[in-house]
Structure 1
Amino acid sequence: MSFTRRTFLAGAGTGVSVLVLTACTVDAEPSPTPTPTRTATGVVPVPRATARSNWGADSFARGSTSYMTVGSTLEHREALRVPVDDRVFFAGEATSTDNPGTVVGAQRSGNLAAAALADAGDSSEKVAIIGAGAAGSEAARVLTLRGYSVSVIEARSRVGGRIHSVSGKAWPFPIELGAFRLSPLRDADVLDALGRLDVATVSLDSAEDGTVYRSATGESATDPVSPAALATALDWAQSQSRDQSVDSSLTASGAEQTVIGATAGELDGPGLLAQHLAYLATVYGADGADLSSWYTADSVDTPTVVTGGFSEIVSDSLEGVETYLSTTVVGVSYTDERVSLRLGTGESLTVDRVLVTVPLGVLQDDSIEFDPLLPFSHRTAIASLAMGTVDTVWLRFDEPFWTTDAVVWNLVGTDDEVTTWYNLEPVTGEAILVGVVGGEAAERVQLLDDDELVDRLLTTLAPFAG
């Protein structure tokens, strides 16, 4: 099947959701961090509770989401999902051509892979699924309904992969250290499923005030210039014979020049464009210097936020399915008759067919050894696609210290790493801020310990304080 660039953009350009799955390696995963003990700094009080993710440093994921870099194509995603000898199957957001990098893309890939596996075999066979994230759990659900004996093997001590819900006394509702933003249009099926499970969600569109842009001095404005500049650059790129990065397209198209000298109140055009690209990095996990102009959408809609335990959608699909936690797969050997899985414990498991749902970053890291090597087309796809990082930090305060009721905050013209924030107070009644960071800024944040990060964030948030 072939997809055009614009077909891809139509699917990928509506909304945001951070990716989900799981890998099969052995290091630590993101977890809540204790609230540092210190006194208030400046005008921003110390948060009552904090939690952060760190997906780039997590060997179960090696990043948050795959993205299209210059030179990668939709055919690479298609090649990655082609079964090998009808024994080794692949699923996950990296194999999705219409919704990569999303929960719905992962789920649908699991559904498609399960159908392909079922068509190749029969229900008397034994099947192993590597990974208990969105793709793996959906595939397990489908295959179980079709009568297959399914074993799900998960490296983590929990299910969900990069859907990671955390509950505790410090938080008034389950918080999400992975996927938590959903598009009302694109993710309608996921939202319907969450509704059936009584998992709470809130639409940021329900707030009276939407998005605010604010400088370090506290000046606020809207942004009429950077969305138009990016749209111009990406439209121009579509007519070029060769793909190039978003940053290059902004320059070569002349779109970047249009923001120079432009202002919105006290905010200048270049600063607004820089923040617009920083926000884009929280969607794709990469900066404009790395993103393909052919496969990057110029806008995203205001998301719906999950506040009731996103991981329930995975747990529900795995109900009654044999699932092994804290079990890594380090090798997959296959013939035209069977598949042997080598576990991290040194043991092995023989099955008729296997479905691999680990993230692209784990495949790129060679955490699983394939014998024989995967076909050249698969190896080319793995090398050509890219893995990006999006991280979140949750802060809960005793009471709001901020002076705006806007639910989406953008900090303009600063050197701060975390410049995109979600204010959940207007839609939940709780004084909770969620910072989101992607690309190189996420890599810099990754190097900070918990105290250093909180100290920086107190300074970052000062322009929003009264």
Structure 2
Amino acid sequence: MTPDARNAMKRRTFLIGVTGLSTLVLTACVSPAPRPSASATATPTPEPKPTVSPVPKPAQMRRTSWSADPFARGSYSFAAVDSTPEQRTALAQPVLDRVFFAGEATSPDAPGTVQGGRDTGLRAAREVISAAAPGERIAVIGAGIAGLSAARFLKDAGFEVVLVEARDRIGGRIDTVSDKNWPFPIELGPSFVSHSGTTSLDEEFTRLGIATAPFPSASETRTDAGTVVAVPDTGQKAVATALAWATQQASDMSVQSALDGSGASKLSTADAGGGVSEADWLAFRVATVLDIDAGASVDHQSGWYTSADAGADDERIVLGGYAGLLTKAAEGIDLLDSSVVTKLAYRDTGVSLRLGTGESLSADRVIVTVPLGVLKSGVLEFDPALPFAHRGAIADLGMGTLDKVWLQFDEPFWSTAAPLWTTVGGDEDFRVWINMMPLTGEPVLVGLVAGDTALRLAGADDATVLAAALRGLTPFYVPPTPTPTPTPTV
């Protein structure tokens, strides 16, 4: 493949990014890896990290740990080193016209997104209809957006459909929580619709009466000291230089290796203004864009297929509950929930599913929509083993992790009305925040962590995560104005 061809195949494959917060928080595990070297990403002597933040404790907190979720094992797929876009198509290929695959990881056009998951579910359903006789029994494994879309399409086409779901709810990585303690539905999974002008999701939300709102791509960025600073193109240019250099190399490499090999990471650690160095701005780009986009560190991301594009400006945030998208699709579907499929045996005459309870389920054909992270774990056994191309795709494609912490405060401690906050410099875990107050009128903040940081915090208790989140919010803290002491009268 020529460098030009590789360049042409590169695309943006992220879910929730800072330059374009996108559609989905999905599932799987990546192995921890070292952060970029200090010379590439940070000043050698950062300010000491405060042990206690002045930010008040929230009234409510909810957090996610998608890497620890056995039915997700991460958040969304990404272009890992030595993987190729063609492997997504390979993973989507039917086996014996009995086993079909869907899910965001099989989307060549929109991996890592709700739209991509939905489109692949519809594609797999059409493939089944082309291969099946009228009235056949079709099993669909996974009641996420891909599985529900496929099941709905097949049910409406006259097939007998059984939807098998490991969880006790539908939605998969779409997880809307409506709780009396929260003033509006909160999204533990996807929150955004990316490229809303070109997807069918935005129209569907409108039809269903589910509220959405435009979300700006620009952020308010502050230093650890709380100083608002303009974001230069230093980090963006360094990354673009490294990725352009990588496409000219004979073999794929990590983005970090491309940054080092191209010399793009050799930036000054001297103050370039506001107490922030050029190296800090590269670290900012890595932490708030690349890590978030992939859900993995730059040590794992492909230098050939990671995109340097800035992202879309037409994204919308879902305020009325992402799960509303699923309710209509599930109507009338035979759902077998709380049922883990441990083995899938297939022959040219049909398929058989073995459940974790020891029970079996037979069908003429099956659509597998479980997340890539679950496929990677091997907990679902295929008999016989899947073809080599499928196994290679499962092994090579990456699964990233992005987690959220939702914090509800009694009153705002901040003064900015910007809906998106980022921080530069220092080494705090939470560098990206969504301010829900200008969108909902409620003092609610959402912090994002990805990659190695998310994996590390997944093993921490709530108190540790909360402390890390409050430290990350310190640059936005505004001390309360003291009440004047009355002057005594004589």
Shared fold per TM-score greater than 0.5: yes
Correspondence for 1:234 among 240, 243, 246: 243
Q: Is the 8 A contact 1:393 1:436 kept in 2?
A: yes
**2:281 matched residue in structure 1:** 272
- Assess, with a 3 A threshold, how the Cα gap between structure 1 residues 317 and 6 changes in structure 2: closer, same or farther: farther
2:266 partner SS: helix
**Deviation string for 1:335-357 (max 9, x for gaps)?**
10010111111111110000000
Indicate the residue corresponding to 1:92 in structure 2.
103
| Mapping of residues 363-378 of structure 1, within 5 Å | 363-378=375-390
Q: CA deviation at 1:262?
A: 7.1
Q: CA deviation at 1:246?
A: 1.2
Q: Which of the residues 392, 396, 400 maps onto 1:388?
A: 400
From the superposition, tell whether residues 186 and 90 of structure 1 become closer, same or farther in structure 2 (CA, over 3 Å).
farther
* Corresponding residue to 1:301 among 293, 312, 336: 312
1:181 positional shift = 2.4
Whether contact under 8 Å (1:21, 1:92) holds in the other structure is no
Indicate if the aligned counterparts of 1:55 and 1:63 stay in contact, CA closer than 8 A.
yes
Give me the CA root mean square deviation: 2.1
The CA distance in 2 between the partners of 1:444 and 1:187, in whole Å, is 36
Aligned residues: 444
Distance 1:75 1:238, change over 3 A: same
In 2: Cα distance, 1:274 partner to 1:15 partner: 18
Map residues 48-447 of structure 1 onto 2, 5 A cutoff: 48-185=59-196, 188-205=199-216, 210-224=218-232, 225-258=234-267, 261=270, 263-279=272-288, 280-298=290-308, 299-301=310-312, 303-447=315-459
CA contact (8 A) 2:12 2:311 kept: no
Cα displacement (A) at 1:204: 2.0
Can you list the C-alpha shifts for 1:365-402, whole angstroms capped at 9, x where unaligned? 11111111111111111111121111011111111111
Matches of 2:425 and 2:183, distance apart in 1: 33
Structure 1 stretches lacking a partner, 5+ long? 24-40
Shift of 1:125: 0.4
CA contact (8 A) 1:15 1:186 kept: no
TM-score by length of 2: 0.86
Equivalent residue, structure 2, for 1:36: none
The amino acid that maps onto 1:247 is Q
Q: Does 1:47 align with 2:48?
A: no
Displacement of 1:239: 2.8
Q: Distance in 1 between matches of 2:403 and 2:8?
A: 28
Q: Label 1:145 to 1:385 Cα distance change in 2 as closer, same or farther (>3 A).
A: same
Q: Which stretches in structure 2 are left out of the alignment for 5+ residues?
A: 29-51, 479-490
Q: Percent identity?
A: 46
Aligned to 1:459: 471
CA distance in 2, matches of 1:434, 1:17: 14
Question: 8 Å contact 1:80–1:378 — kept in the other structure?
Answer: yes
* Higher alpha-carbon deviation: 429-438 or 271-280: 271-280
Aligned-pair CA distance for 1:167: 0.8
What is the rounded CA distance, in whole Å, between the counterparts of 1:267 and 1:236 in structure 2? 26
Over 3 Å counting, the alpha-carbon distance change for 1:97 and 1:385 in structure 2 is same
Q: 1:439 & 1:88 partners in 2: Cα distance?
A: 32
Contact 2:213-2:439 at 8 Å conserved across structures: yes
Deviation at residue 21 of structure 1 after TM alignment: 6.4
In 1, the alpha carbon distance for the partners of 2:459 and 2:27 equals 22
1:9 aligns with 2:10: yes
Cα distance in 2 between the residues matched to 1:463 and 1:391? 21
3-state SS of the aligned residue for 2:216? helix
Query: How far did residue 364 of structure 1 move?
Result: 1.0
Amino acid at match of 1:119: S
The answer to whether the 8 A contact 1:220-1:266 is kept is: no
The Cα of 1:18 is off from its aligned counterpart by 5.2
1: CA distance, partners of 2:53 / 2:86: 52
Q: What amino acid sits opposite 2:86 in the alignment?
A: E
Structure number with larger C-alpha Rg: 2
1:145 and 1:465 mapped to 2: Cα distance? Answer: 53
TM-score normalised by the chain length of structure 1 = 0.90
Q: How much has 1:22 moved relative to structure 2?
A: 8.0
Alpha-carbon distance, 1:261 to partner: 4.7
